[in-house]
Chain A
Amino acid sequence: MDLSYGQAAEAFRKEVRAFIKERWAPQSVERSDMKAYVAAFRKAATEAGYLYRAIPKKWGGSEQSPDVIKAQVIREEFTRARAPMEVPGNGMNMLVPTLLERGTEEQKRLFIPPTMAGDYVWGQGYSEPGTGSDLASVRTRAELVGDKWIINGQKIWTSQGGKATHMFALVRTEPDAGKHDGISYLLIDLDQPGVSRRPIRQMTGESGFFEFFFDNAETPASWIVGERGQGWNVSRTTLKHERASIGSAAMLGNQFEKLVELAKEMTRNGQPAIKDPEVRQALTRIEGWVMSHRYSSYRIMSNAIHGDEAGIISLMMKLLLTEIGHDIALTAQDLIGDEGLVEPAPAGTRGRGPEKWLDQIMGSLGNSIAGGTTNIQRNIIGERGLDLPRDLAMERGQ
């Protein structure tokens, strides 16, 4: 076992560090010039081969061969310097990989460059009010009339919905075909009279998600990815390039360290709470899980580097992260005590005290829902990981 990244990676790290030092100096930039400065930085970082590594040069990417360690070093160094990486969001994470694999040349040309530039912001149009875990039951319809799709229905839980300019959506185009075979993957411009949107206020009080209403909305006939009725399959396309990362382990590690800091700051029986035997047990119990998560992340990354399959552990990371987040939330709630009776000021506000943990405490509940609920995660581990028989209704595809 060897947890170091190796000499080649450390040499590469120096190179990345030198690049960032030379090119990223946001302190000296006027606020009004910042957008252009960031865009120029991303362009230079792409030319250096650090960003948009999976994207062909033809579309403005740096077209690098996959290298999990290099990708990790880049992530670490950019994060350390707080330098901007690729434009975040569903566009780069989901749509672009799908287009690269399944899109037409025309679609790639139309959508990849503006998405990379952040000019097109993509919302995901999968869930509907009656369609959650049973995603293939979507009812939003699209009908081909002349050279346009006419879309009617409703989508929900779209993140970045306020900023979204476009949507990739699963819609029913073949009403007479089977459940999965009747779905197509359409791209929709959201700036049109047939589309309206409304924010969803979530339990934290914030509105991170939107719902969208389609009332005879239109999209060109050619804005379908894959063939008619192949949408389900197209939506399963995932990003394989340099996918293994230990990003969530670093995030979890930071969160745990903050919990330890909280235990040092809060007092109990006239001394720091961290001196309390119960608190020490709670913290070290969580730490066993945090370390299991961290070294499982390394294990998955190591498998990816060597071209091996990590197996069932890969199916567990989301659930594991969620469960540890809950443990942290419960311990934090205990530690902050009556400070938690005050609702925290919004993130970014100065002078927030221990009550700010309420963000994590409530946010941890969001984690058990977003991206596949905890119950669905357990199904996935059971069925794909342990090879247990599927639920009869699911097996029949109903």
Chain B
Amino acid sequence: MRFHLDSDQIAIQDTLFGVVSEVLTREKLDAFIDGEGDFEPDSWAAVSELEFFGLMVPEALGGSGLGLLEAALVSESLGRAAAPGPFIGQFLTAIALSSTTNETARDAFLDGVAKGKTVSTFAFGGNWLPESWSVESDGKSARGEVRFVPSANAASLFLTGTKNGGIALIEAGDEVAINRHRSTDRSRPASAVKFDEAAAHTLFEPGDPLVQRLFDAALVLIAADALGGAQYCADLSVSYAKEREQFGQPIGRFQALKHQLSTMALNVEPSRSLVWYAAHAWDEEQKDASRTAALAKAHLCDRFVEVTRDAIAAHGGIGYTWEYGLNIWFRRSVFDRAVLGSPSVHRERAATLAGW
């Protein structure tokens, strides 16, 4: 029995967070947030160089053959660092291309995606859930419109949800029109994307169980991102409480604040175990994998929102400023909570999946 990280897994997490915090300086993150771009090449390059996009690609196909658990550790570290870029879409595309029976698409794109050379984002649309997807594709060209596509301008590929719950990989080009939203989460700006007979490859037909499995992986990766973000906010608040003095002593000595910080830790640490289990259940293809992914997504996104709110409260005035930066993570919590469906949506799904 083993249910805690081993040294390799800890190394994935620590190495990545170390490298990304080094290349993604605060100045760079601020500049990105104030700018118009939707892709940050340095943090992307760091993940590519560590060969982490190929983490879940089987060894036979040139990847590392690791699981969603390891991918979730990567997602957590990127969430902690507030890294911009369509990391989750890239992971999902690597999983999809590894498991599709469309060998032409796999041969054409998997290597570039796994190496991080080809950028791919996800474009699900509808209300996020597979049954609501609406892009029409005949496996050669696709048409339709999808809102809230992260880093659309940087992407050469769109992992797209198609009508009745299939998945196609659509290529960027003149037939794809991109309209940037004013995004709340400025670290992950999204766009509305319109496909007008754009080149498409079917990865999964409607009804293929791998579609739900891919969607479940997306839920777990978002949950892990939320975990990392919440961890960052809790850590920052604790350090601040040790440094900031009022009434002649560090404010962390006051019980009211101490309790608020303990509550934040209580929102983070036990939830970590849920993320690990959700990823583990997915890797082991357990019966409860889909339901656990839904519960984990709902739970972690609520925790993230709660922790960022508490973090801003615990900081006082400085936490409410733009300059201090907590709002970057607050806005990421808004993104995580909404994207792929709100907590209440997934809780209702979980209730239905339990047969209630």
Residues of A at the B interface (CB closer than 8 Å) are 1-6, 9, 69, 260, 263-264, 274-275, 277, 280-281, 283-285, 287-289, 291-296, 298-299, 301-303, 305-306, 308, 310, 312-313, 316, 319-320, 323, 375, 377-379, 381-383, 385-392
Q: Are B347's CB and A292's CB within 8 A?
A: no
Could you say which residues of chain A place their CB within 8 Å of the CB of B141? none
Among B87-95, B145-153, B175-183, B250-258, the one that faces the other chain is B250-258
Instruction: Produce 1/0 per residue, B291-325, CB < 8 A to A.
Output: 01001101100100000000000000000000000
Q: Are B253's CB and A390's CB within 8 A?
A: yes
Q: Are B348's CB and A280's CB within 8 A?
A: yes
Could you say which residues of chain B place their CB within 8 Å of the CB of A302? 1-4
Q: What band does the interface of chain B fall in when counting residues whose beta carbon is under 8 Å from A?
A: 35 or more
Closest to A375 in B: B259
The CA-CA distance from A381 to B266 in the complex, in Å, is 9
Identify the interface centre among A1, A299, A377: most chain B CB within 10 Å of its CB: A1
Which residues of B in the span 247-301 have a Cβ within 8 Å of any Cβ on A? 249-250, 252-253, 255, 258-259, 261-263, 265-266, 269-274, 276-277, 280, 283, 292, 295-296, 298-299
Determine whether B351 belongs to the interface, using a CB cutoff of 8 Å to chain A: yes
Q: Are B255's CB and A288's CB within 8 A?
A: no
Determine whether B96 belongs to the interface, using a CB cutoff of 8 Å to chain A: no
Closest to B258 in A: A382
Q: Are B266's CB and A389's CB within 8 A?
A: no
Q: Are B259's CB and A388's CB within 8 A?
A: no
The CA-CA distance from A289 to B269 in the complex, in Å, is 11
Taking a contact as CB atoms closer than 8 A, the residue among B69, B238, B263, B299 that contacts A1 in the complex is B69
CB distance from A73 to the nearest CB of B (A): 11
Could you say which residues of chain B place their CB within 8 Å of the CB of A382? 252, 258-259, 261-262
Q: Are A292's CB and B351's CB within 8 A?
A: no
Q: Are A303's CB and B250's CB within 8 A?
A: no
Q: Are B276's CB and A1's CB within 8 A?
A: yes
Q: Are B250's CB and A288's CB within 8 A?
A: no
Contact sample, A vs B, 29 pairs, CB 8 Å cutoff:
A1-B3, A1-B69, A2-B2, A3-B1, A3-B3, A9-B1, A69-B1, A263-B356, A280-B348, A281-B351, A285-B299, A287-B295, A288-B298, A295-B274, A295-B277, A299-B4, A299-B273, A299-B276, A302-B4, A303-B4, A305-B2, A313-B272, A378-B259, A378-B263, A381-B262, A382-B258, A385-B265, A388-B252, A389-B249
Closest to A381 in B: B262
Q: Are B261's CB and A388's CB within 8 A?
A: yes
Could you say which residues of chain B place their CB within 8 Å of the CB of A385? 262, 265
Determine whether B26 belongs to the interface, using a CB cutoff of 8 Å to chain A: no
The CA-CA distance from A364 to B261 in the complex, in Å, is 24
Q: Are B265's CB and A386's CB within 8 A?
A: yes
Determine whether B55 belongs to the interface, using a CB cutoff of 8 Å to chain A: no
Could you say which residues of chain B place their CB within 8 Å of the CB of A285? 298-299, 302, 347
Taking a contact as CB atoms closer than 8 A, the residue among B265, B272, B298 that contacts A284 in the complex is B298
CB distance from B229 to the nearest CB of A (A): 17
Could you say which residues of chain A place their CB within 8 Å of the CB of B269? 296, 312-313, 316
Instruction: Produce 1/0 per residue, B163-183, CB < 8 A to A.
Output: 000000000000000000000
Taking a contact as CB atoms closer than 8 A, the residue among A3, A277, A289, A320 that contacts B299 in the complex is A289
Closest to B286 in A: A3
Closest to A383 in B: B258
Taking a contact as CB atoms closer than 8 A, the residue among A260, A295, A378 that contacts B276 in the complex is A295
CB distance from B277 to the nearest CB of A (A): 4
Taking a contact as CB atoms closer than 8 A, the residue among B258, B296, B299, B347 that contacts A281 in the complex is B347
Could you say which residues of chain A place their CB within 8 Å of the CB of B253? 388-392
Q: Are A292's CB and B265's CB within 8 A?
A: no
Could you say which residues of chain B place their CB within 8 Å of the CB of A293? 270
Q: Are B252's CB and A389's CB within 8 A?
A: yes
Could you say which residues of chain B place their CB within 8 Å of the CB of A375? 255, 259
CB distance from A372 to the nearest CB of B (A): 13
CB distance from B305 to the nearest CB of A (A): 13
- A1-B252 in contact given A280-B351, A284-B295 (Cβ < 8 Å): no
Determine whether B159 belongs to the interface, using a CB cutoff of 8 Å to chain A: no
Identify the interface centre among B4, B258, B263, B296: most chain A CB within 10 Å of its CB: B4
Determine whether B25 belongs to the interface, using a CB cutoff of 8 Å to chain A: no
